[in-house]
Structure 1
Amino acid sequence: MNERFAVMLKPNKTILGACALLGLTLLGLGAMGPWQDLNNEPLPEQPSVALGVQGLLFARPFVLEKSYRHNWRLERPQVKSGLLLVLEVDEVFSVPRNTLESVLYIGDEVAERLNWGTGSGRVVAICPAALGADGLPALDLLSALMWYGSPELPERVDAARVQSELAAASAAGLVPLASEQIQIAREAGGALLQLADRTALEREAARLVLRFASPERDLAEGFLTPLVR
C-alpha cells in the first residue's frame, strides 16, 4: 500500500477519543428526561389545572401593513392586528423548557410569548385579534380571561382545544383582571401602534423585554440586531 495512504488510514487516537466523548455526551442528553434541564437539575412541575396570570402592566393595540402567520396555532391563521402585552406571571412558568409547556391563553386565542419571564416574572406577549368596526383590535380585556392552560406544544393547539381550555379555566373559577388594572395597562401602552410587518412588531416587543424583563436582555438584543441583507 502506498505509504501516504497508509498514514491517512492509521487511526488517530485523539480523534477517536473525542468522538467517543461526544457520543457519550449525546447519549446522556438523549436519556435526560423532560423534567431535567441541561445542568441535570429537576424542573418545577407544571400545574395540571388552569392558573391565571397575576397582573397586566402594559397593553398596546397594533396594526400591521403586512400580515404574518400565527405559528402558535395549529391552523396558522394570518395576523394583521392584535395587542402587545406585558403580563406578571407565577415563577413556575418562567423556567425555560424544551418540551411541553403550559400554554398561555388570552380570551379565545393562544398568545405568543416573546420571553419566559426568567428573573423578572414578566412576560411580553403578542395576542392576535381581528379589527373591530372602530379600526382597533376587537379584544375586550375587561372580559377576557388570561391564563396558563395544561402543558402542550402551542403549535398543536386548535380552536377546539382553545374552547376546551377556556371551559376548564372558567370551571376553575378564573375571572378577568380588575378593570382598574386594565385601565392602567392601557394608559401605559398608549395609542394604536402602526407597523410595517412582523419584524417591526418583534422589535417593539424586544424593547418591552428590555424595559420590563431586563434579565433576558440577551434575548431582546437578538431581536434588535440589524438584519443583514
Structure 2
Amino acid sequence: METISMRLYRILADEIINGTLAPGDSLEENAIGERFKVSRTPIRAALRELASNGLIELRPRKGGVVVSISIDELADTLEAMGELEALCCRISAERMSAVQKKQLELIHLQSLECIERGDEEGYLEMNAKFHQLICAGAHNRSLAESIDKLRLRLNQFRAAQGGVERRLAKSQEEHAAIVDAIVASDAERSYLAMRDHANRLNVHVLEVMRERQDAHAA
C-alpha cells in the first residue's frame, strides 16, 4: 500500500522530471502541506527521498530546491545500472538454483498471460519480480544492494518515459532470451541478453528526457 510520503515523492518526482517543476524552483514545506493537505512528517520524508535521488537540494527547516538534471549524469547512471544488471545476470546463470530457474520460467509465463489479456499493470508487476529474482539468483549481497540503490534512483525516470516498459511484446521477447540463457547456465549469453535489454530501455529514456528538456527550454 502506498504511503502518503511515497505518494508525495512520486508526484513531485514526476513533476521535476517532466519539467512542471523547473531547476531552481523551491519546494517549501508549508506550500506542499497546503497543496496536498498533509502534515510535515510525510512531506519531510518525501523531500529526503527526492534529495537522496539527486532531484533536489535540501534547505534546513525550509524544504528544497529543484536541481538541474544533467543528461550526461543520467546517461552515466543508466550505463552503470545496465552493466550491473548484466553482470548479475551472468552470475545468476552460474549460481541460480534449479528452483529459482523454475520460478523464473513461471514468472515469464505469467508475464505472457498478462500480455494476452492486456493487463499492463500486471505485466509491470511481473517485470519487477522477474528482475528481482535474477538479482537474488546471483547470491551476492553487495551487488544486490548496489542495483537496488540505482534502481530507486532511476525508477522515476524509467516510469516517466511515455510507456517504454509498456511495449510488452518487445520486452517479453527480450525476457525470453534472458530466461533461455539462464536456464541453460550460459553465463556469457545471459550477460549479453540482459545488456541488450537494458540498453534498449536506456536509449529510450535518454531520448525522452532530451526531448522534454528541449521543450522546456524552448
Scaled by the length of structure 2, the TM-score of the pair is: 0.25
